Chains A and B, each alone.
Chain A
Amino acid sequence: TQLLEQSPQFLSIQEGENLTVYCNSSSVFSSLQWYRQEPGEGPVLLVTVVTGGEVKKLKRLTFQFGDARKDSSLHITAAQPGDTGLYLCAGYSGAGSYQLTFGKGTKLSVIP
């Protein structure tokens, strides 16, 4: 099983601050996804990145896939309390792969 390491594990910041969450692996992934999970609910997909070097923006969230397709980052600008949650990265190892490997997650708390 390919591993995805997420950092930091926990992050507590004030409203309005910026933050970056990292997702790293020694393995190449054909695609990488970011999910957000709120307490009592299942994860919800935020974005999928497929091409090395790809950057996608979702309002105040910016996602980047590393050139070598081994790492990814999630940057949040001007965090808001509504951004609070568990952020998970997940990767498919290859074309036709049916197994999605998840990182352990980053628990984000945004304090008003």
Chain B
Amino acid sequence: EAQVTQNPRYLITVTGKKLTVTCSQNMNHEYMSWYRQDPGLGLRQIYYSMNVEVTDKGDVPEGYKVSRKEKRNFPLILESPSPNQTSLYFCASSPDGTYGEKLFFGSGTQLSVL
């Protein structure tokens, strides 16, 4: 089944403790992206990757890092999480990210930073 898989689904952590949220897609997509979703603010893009060689910042990249060492995986790294990073995170992918393409989303990771 074609899908984007995120892990974990739920994560509670404390301020300053490094964490990684994994994202994997099995559709051979070039483009992958991370979003965070907050009440009243909607979905905001954190980082995106056009292919394994190119990664760029989205609208809210501060406090996050990403890595694209292979096409299928795009982990989101929080080096020193803070409470304002408590949010619902989504990973997404599409064939090559150009306009009009369908974006496939994972089921989300609910992160709480205490």
Contacts and interface: CB of A to CB of B under 8 A. Distances in A.
Contacts of A99: 45, 48, 58-59
B108 A42 contact: yes
Contacts of A95: 98-99
B97 interface: yes
Interface residues on A, range: 20 to 34
Interface in B7-21: none
Contacts, number: 66
Interface residues on B, range: 20 to 34
A43 B102 CA distance: 11
Interface in B95-114: 97-100, 102-103, 105-108
Interface in A76-112: 88, 90, 92, 94-105
A44 interface: yes
B99 A92 contact: yes
Nearest to A50: B100
Contacts of B90: 42-43
A17 to B, nearest CB: 25
Given A1-B59, A45-B102, 13 more contacts: A30-B100, A31-B100, A42-B92, A42-B106, A42-B107, A42-B108, A43-B103, A88-B43, A90-B103, A98-B98, A99-B48, A99-B59, A105-B42
Pairs A-B, 8 closest by C-beta atoms:
A42-B105, A92-B99, A104-B42, A102-B43, A31-B100, A98-B97, A45-B102, A31-B99
